[in-house]
Structure 1
Amino acid sequence: MTIKTWAIEDRPREKLILKGKQALSDAELIAILIGSGVVGKSALDVTKAILHSVDNNLNELGKKTLSDLQKFAGIGEARAIIIIAALELGRRRQLSDVRERVRITTSRDAYNVIAPLLIDLQHEEFWMLLLNRNNEVTARHKISSGGTSATVVDMKMIFRPALESLAAAIVVMHNHPSGNLQPSKSDIDLTQKIKAAGASLDITLLDHLIVSERGYYSFADEAML
């Protein structure tokens, strides 16, 4: 059966109009993007196949390239571009919260600010959030970019922007492409080094996060600061 033969309230576009966007599944939302299916398959069938290939994980779908998506029946270059563009807009929407001066009160707040930048990377990067005295994010900076298992961090690169912006506190974070969230000895040593350097400059290290698509590890939550 094609989508046009379904009950009106079950068709993705009509369902959105009648019930709101929250009522739609991920597959239904993507089906709206691609518009139509192929012979023998509705747009919803096509999108369910795509999502099934990534275990219904949108983060994994966001890693797919144009050529990856075009391997599915009914997905040509134009439709693949639409899907990739929509997922990228969703990622950027998460990042746009920084402009509203998000207040960091928990490790989850910090994770939400930076995770969209890091979780899809296949190499390590080290980032920092600058905070004012109200623990509001005033800026974020990439400190370094490395290989698949490490990145070099220079104390001067961390504290120069913090001093220039008169930051009261910082949160640092880096990703583990392997997905392993446990800190290494070098992660622990680096955290203590940053904490000590910050204390001498009256800049508080609020947390150090290790992030991946599986979640995050917080040094503050684990009493490792």
Structure 2
Amino acid sequence: MQAQNHSIKSWAKADRPREKLLSKSPMHLSDAELLSILLVTGYSKQTALDIARDLLARCANNLFELGRMSAYDLMKIKGIGYAKAVTITAALELGRRRQTARVMEQPVVSGSADVANHLRQLYQDHHQEVFVVLFLNRANMIRHQEVISLGGIAGTVADPRIIMKKAIEQEASSLILSHNHPSGNLKPSRADEDLTQRIAQAARLLDIRVIDHIIVSQQGYFSFADEGLL
């Protein structure tokens, strides 16, 4: 009977995702039920839960693949319009930021792994290259993090002058450079190496040290410092 009724409001309260979340906990809900709460409503032929199941089926029930979908990808699913797509995209981004919040709270950057994991969580799902700089004080504490440039699938360009200006504004003593490789390949290109050296040379003139350049992708990370390239 419930399978034929396209309104969740007609379901028993114990079966409705929102009521179920409040009476139990989010842990008791399936991925589809959690998504249906974000969708809020369905349409004449499908409930929000039906649409959520269709969406998950589209990404092989893999939340990692769901996280890689853009708002425009989401809008290709019948029943998901502009508002619903934006809501889901925002929720996924909040999840990423929550996962990465801990590294920003740590008092001192102790190695490439902590920073790399933080950056991977934030940027590995992007389909375009993103160039990010972490600005550190003398105690190796992260004072600020900023996206310097967005590029295409093949690359991005970061202007050393912009980075130095930001470093002075943040009173940074050292920098960690980073960008992602949407292709998954972690090997730095010749352009990556040249840009790293140009930024490092510019920083030295201001008594600022570039302590690492980290490339991240779904496959892991590559650290210039760990590989002796800085």
TM-score (norm 1): 0.72
- SS of match in other structure, 1:28: helix
| Cα 1:203–1:25 shift into 2, 3 Å | farther
Say if 1:59 and 1:213, in contact at 8 Å, map to a contact too: no
What is aligned with 1:83? 88
**Letter paired with 1:63:** M
Instruction: Give secondary structure in 1 for the equivalent of 2:33.
Output: helix
The alpha-carbon deviation at position 19 of structure 1 amounts to 4.0
Q: Give, in whole Å, the separation in 1 of the partners of 2:36 and 2:88.
A: 10
**Which one of the candidate residues 50, 56, 65 is aligned to 2:71?**
65
Give yes or no for contact 2:184–2:219 (8 Å, CA) kept in 1. yes
- More off after superposition, 178-187 vs 76-85: 76-85
The residue type paired with residue 220 of structure 1 is A
**C-alpha separation between the residues in 1 aligned to 2:53 and 2:35?**
9
Against the structure 1 CA distance between its residues 216 and 23, is the aligned structure 2 distance closer, same or farther, given a 3 Å change threshold? Answer: farther
Name the structure 1 match of 2:187: 182
**Does the aligned pair in 2 maintain the 1:130–1:169 contact within 8 Å?**
yes
2:140 is paired with a residue whose SS is coil
Range with bigger deviation, 171-180 or 157-166:
157-166
RMSD: 3.7
Amino acid at match of 2:70: K
Q: 1:23 to 1:109 in 2, by over 3 A?
A: farther
Shift of 1:20: 2.4
| CA deviation after TM superposition for structure 1 residue 169, in Å | 1.4
Q: Which residue of 2 aligns with 1:207?
A: 212
Partner Cα distance (2:24, 2:123) in 1? 34
Identity %: 45
In the alignment, is the contact (CA less than 8 A) between 2:103 and 2:114 conserved in 1?
Answer: no
**For residue 172 of structure 2, what is the aligned residue in structure 1?**
167
Note if contact 1:124-1:149 (Cα within 8 Å) is conserved in structure 2.
Answer: yes
8 Å contact kept, 2:175–2:208: yes
Q: Alpha carbons of 1:32 and 1:144: their partners in 2 closer, same or farther (altered >3 Å)?
A: closer
Change (3 A) 1:61 1:49: farther
2:56 equivalent in structure 1: 51
Structure 2 unaligned segments of length 5 or more: list them.
Answer: none
Query: Structure 1 regions of 5+ residues with no counterpart?
Result: none
Q: Check whether the contact 1:130–1:171 (CA below 8 A) recurs between aligned residues.
A: yes
Q: CA deviation at 1:119?
A: 3.6
Shift of 1:199: 4.9
Listed as ranges, the matches of 1:212-223 within 5 Å are 212-223=217-228
Residue correspondence of structure 1 range 1-225 to structure 2 within 5 A: 1-2=2-3, 8=14, 12-37=17-42, 43-55=48-60, 56-58=62-64, 60-61=66-67, 63-66=69-72, 68-91=73-96, 103-111=108-116, 113-115=118-120, 118-195=123-200, 197-199=202-204, 201-225=206-230
Distance in 2, matches of 1:63 and 1:83, equals 10
Whether the 8 Å CA contact 1:103–1:109 is kept in 2: the answer is no
User: d(CA) in 2 for partners of 1:152 and 1:73?
Assistant: 37
Choose 198-207 or 129-138, whichever is displaced more.
198-207
Distance 1:88 1:213 in 2: 17
Q: What letter matches 2:224 in structure 1?
A: F
Compute the displacement of 1:191 (Å). Answer: 3.1
Counterpart contact for 2:126–2:182, Cα < 8 Å: yes
CA distance in 2, matches of 1:214, 1:114: 13
